[in-house]
Each structure stands twice: as C-alpha cells, then as structure tokens.
Amino acid sequence: MRQLLKRLVGILGLEGRTETAADDVWGMCAALRAHLMELESGPLHRYGPVSSQLSKLMDSYVPRLIDGLDRISRLVSQDRGRQGR
C-alpha cells in the first residue's frame, strides 16, 4: 500500500508536508467539538427519547467541555499563526 501511495504522489506531483503538533491538536479539537455538540439535548433527541434527567446533565456538562476545547484551539491557533498556517 505504501508503494502505491508513493507512486500516486509522484504521478500527481504532490509535495509532502509534515504536520506540527499544533496542527494535530487543532484538528482533534475541531473533530471532537462536532461530536460533543451532538451530545447536547437538542441533537440527542434525534437519536431517540432522552430523559429530562439526562438532558439536564448533558446540557450542563457539554457546553463546558466545548468551552475547554475552544480554549485549547485558541492556544494552538496562536502557535499555528506563528508558523504561517
């Protein structure tokens, strides 16, 4: 598989690029944020009935988790900006 990918890279004339830790963390935060948003009570109801107790619990925790991810994203975005990304 690696040989096929290398051949395809050569055929397409693609240049390699190494991701920084900041890029990796930022990408993980973005992906995780989307999943967390699905756990708020509104979107969660699309998957079936949700008890009021679970709705209250998720609506109290999920925004705080998203806020934490947003803070991490802002921190690594500053580093990505210094690197010209």
Q: What is the pTM (predicted TM-score) of this model?
A: 0.71
The DSSP annotation for 12-73 comes to HT----PPPHHHHHHHHHHHHHHHHHTTSHHHHGGGS---HHHHHHHHHHHHHHHHHHHHHH
Per-residue confidence (pLDDT) for residue 84, from 0 to 100? 59
Span 18-60, pLDDT tens digits? 788 899 999 999 999 999 999 999 999 999 999 999 999 999 9
Helices 52-82, 21-37: crossing angle, 10 deg rounding = 160
Contact at 8 Å (CB) between 20 and 80?
A: yes
